[in-house]
Amino acid sequence: MRLILLGPPGSGKGTQSARLAGRYGVPQIGTGDMLRAAVDAGTGLGRQAKAYIDAGELVPDELVVEIVRQRMAEPDAAAGWLLDGFPRTAEQARRLDEVLEQSAKEIDRAVLIEVPDDEIVRRLGGRRVCAACGAVFHLDWKRPAVQGVCDLCGGRLRQRSDDAEETVRERLRVYREQTAPLARHYEKLSVLVAVDGRGSVNQVFDRIDGVL
């Protein structure tokens, strides 16, 4: 199974792709996660990516395409994968098509998760993430038992640097301008399905699972 998850920041791509990866037994390849890990580890890639991420801008195509290509070449990705947050530009989509063509593989589905802007700003403004295990909380509807502390591992909860309201607005602008048009590309390939991303995590998961 080769899947792409498309949708604005805060549409639940990360949450849903983690569950879908488990359901379909394929690795989740999340470019945002990989880039943040590189920033935290202080690698060369992380140093190059940090300023873009903090400003809500896209990291240059070359860097992102390369980490995805390398990750796809790992043995656990041979039978399929789920792309979360990639491609995000026409050039990334073109490069992905090229990689697939070279290996005579095809995308099975591109799932577009649709959520209105106001809801996104609300979701991301209250989002808190565990610095240790990555678990996600929300100040309004998924509060941790102890403020600032992860229920699962006791780690410290923090706000992602790019979840500040102004940066969220910029990420949305970049999404509308550069990423949203990709839906048309996957529509032409007859693999696009759109689902309503509002409601609970379970409701959205069932909708996606239903169309797959």
Distance of CA 76 to the CA centre of its chain: 19
Please identify, using beta-carbon distances, which residue of 19 and 88 lies nearer to ligand AMP.
88
* Shortest Cβ 96–ligand AMP spacing (Å): 10
Note the helical H segments in 103-181: 117-125, 165-174
Is residue 127 flagged as an active site residue?
yes
Site mask for ligand AMP (CB under 6 A), range 38-57, x = bound: --------------xx--xx
Q: How far is CA 42 from each of CA 37, 46, 48, 57, 172, rounded to the nearest angstrom?
A: 8, 6, 10, 19, 27
**Candidate segments 31-39, 114-122, 127-135, 140-148, binder of ligand AMP by CB under 6 A:** 31-39
Tell me: does residue 12 bind ligand AMP (CB under 6 A). no
**Alpha carbon distance 174, 103 (integer Å):** 31
Q: Per-residue x/- mask for ligand AMP, residues 119 to 158, rule CB under 6 A?
A: ----------------------------------------
Q: Is 50 a catalytic residue?
A: no
Q: Is 47 strand, coil or helix?
A: helix
- What is residue 57's DSSP assignment? P
